[in-house]
Amino acid sequence: MSGDFAFLPFIFASLMGLSILIYVVLDGFDLGIGILFPLTKDKMQQDQMIATIGPFWDANETWLVLAVGLLLVAFPVAHGIILSALYLPVFVLLFGLILRGVSFEFRAKADIRHKARWDFAFFAGSLMASLAQGFMLGIYIMGLQFTAVAIVFACLTALCLTSGYALIGAGWLILKTENDLQTQAIDWARKALWLSLIGMVAVSVASPLADPRIFEKWFSVPEIILLAPLPILSFICFAALWIVLRRLPKWGDSFSWLPFNLTMALFALAYIGLAYSFYPYVVPGQMTVYEAAAAPESLVIILIGAVFVLPMILGYTALSYYIFRGKLTELRYD
C-alpha cells in the first residue's frame, strides 16, 4: 500500500475493534439475560428480565453487523480465511441469534400453553450464541488451528465468556430492577464472577504461550513496565466488583450502577490487552492488516461512508439508552 494511504488499514482495524468491543458489552448483557433466564421460575420475574432488554436487544446487534461488514469490505482476504476456518461456530452463532430473536417476539404474543417453549428457545438461542462466540475466540487465540489442545482451550473460553456474559447480564439486572429480582441478580453475579476470572487468566496465559511474538510484546523491557497498568487495573476491578457484590444489599440501590460499570471496565481492559497482543495481525501469525487490506481507492470510499454511518449508529444507540434510562417500567406492545 502506498505511503499516502498507509494509515487507512490502521483506521479500519481500529473501527472494527471498536465495533466488536461495543457489541460484546451491549449485546453481552442481553445475551447474559437469556443465559440467566431459567434460573428463576417466577413468570413475573422472567417478564421483568425480558422487559429490561426490550428496547435495546435488536439495536445492540447492529454492532456485530458493522464489525463483520468492516472485515468484509476492508480486509476481504482475511474475511475469507477467518470465516472459512470458523464456519461451524459461525453457523451456530447465527442460528442462536435467529432463534433468540424469534423467541423474544413470539413469547410476548404466544398462548400461555406455548409460552414455556418460547422461553426455552430464548434461553437456548442465547446460550448457543454465547458458547459459539467463546469458542471462536479460543480458536482465534490459538491461531485458527483445530488441534486437540486448541479445541480444549476453545471449550474453556466458551464456558468462561458465557459466564462473563452472565456476569454483565446480572449487572444490568442489578441496575435496572429492584427488590427480589435485584437480590437474585446480585447472587447470580457473585457466582459468575469467579468463572469469568478464570477465563481472563486463561486467555492472558495462553496468548503469549501460543505465539512467541506475543510473549515478546508483553515480557520484553520496557514493555512489561509500560503494560503493567492493564493487569493491575483488571485486578482492581475484580476486587472492587467482589467487594461491591458482597456489600451491595447493605449499601442500598444508590450503588446499583457499580457492578455493571465495573464489568464493562473489565471487558474493555481485556479487549485492549487482546488488541495489543495481536496487532498488526488480523489473521494470527499469518496476515497483517496491511497485507489483508483492500485497495486504497476502495478504502477511501468506504471511509467516507463510515464517517456518515458510524455517528448515526452511535447517535441512535445513545438516544435509546437515554430515553429508556432509569429503573424498569412495564414493557407494552400496544
Contact 13, 279 (CB under 8 A): yes
pLDDT value at residue 334: 52
Contact 33, 53 (CB under 8 A): yes
Contact 46, 328 (CB under 8 A): no
pLDDT value at residue 174: 92
DSSP H helices in the chain: 8-36, 43-53, 57-60, 62-74, 76-85, 87-107, 115-141, 148-176, 179-210, 212-219, 223-226, 229-251, 258-278, 289-292, 296-323
pLDDT value at residue 241: 92
187: which 3 cell numbers?
447472587
pLDDT value at residue 186: 92
pLDDT value at residue 94: 92
Identify which of 62, 67, 68, 70 has the alpha carbon closest to the alpha carbon of residue 9: 70
pLDDT value at residue 166: 94
User: In Å, how far are 6, 40, 135 from 260, measured between CA atoms?
Assistant: 38, 20, 24
pLDDT value at residue 1: 53
Measured from the Cβ of residue 249, the count of other Cβ atoms closer than 10 Å reads 12
pLDDT value at residue 185: 92
Residues shown for the chain: 334
pLDDT value at residue 128: 95
Class of residue 183 by CB neighbours under 10 A (exposed 0-12, middle 13-18, buried 19+)? middle
- For 28-52, give the DSSP string: HHHHHHHHHGGG---HHHHHHHHHH
Could you list the pLDDT tens digit for every one of the 334 residues in the chain?
555 567 888 999 999 989 999 999 888 898 999 999 988 888 888 888 888 888 888 888 888 888 888 888 889 899 888 888 899 999 999 999 999 888 888 887 777 777 888 889 999 999 999 999 999 998 998 888 888 888 988 898 899 899 999 999 999 999 998 888 888 999 999 999 988 888 888 888 888 887 788 888 888 888 888 888 988 999 999 999 999 998 887 777 778 889 999 999 999 998 898 888 888 889 888 889 998 888 888 888 888 888 888 888 888 888 988 888 887 766 555 5
Identify which of 214, 304, 313, 277 has the alpha carbon closest to the alpha carbon of residue 12: 304
pLDDT value at residue 255: 83
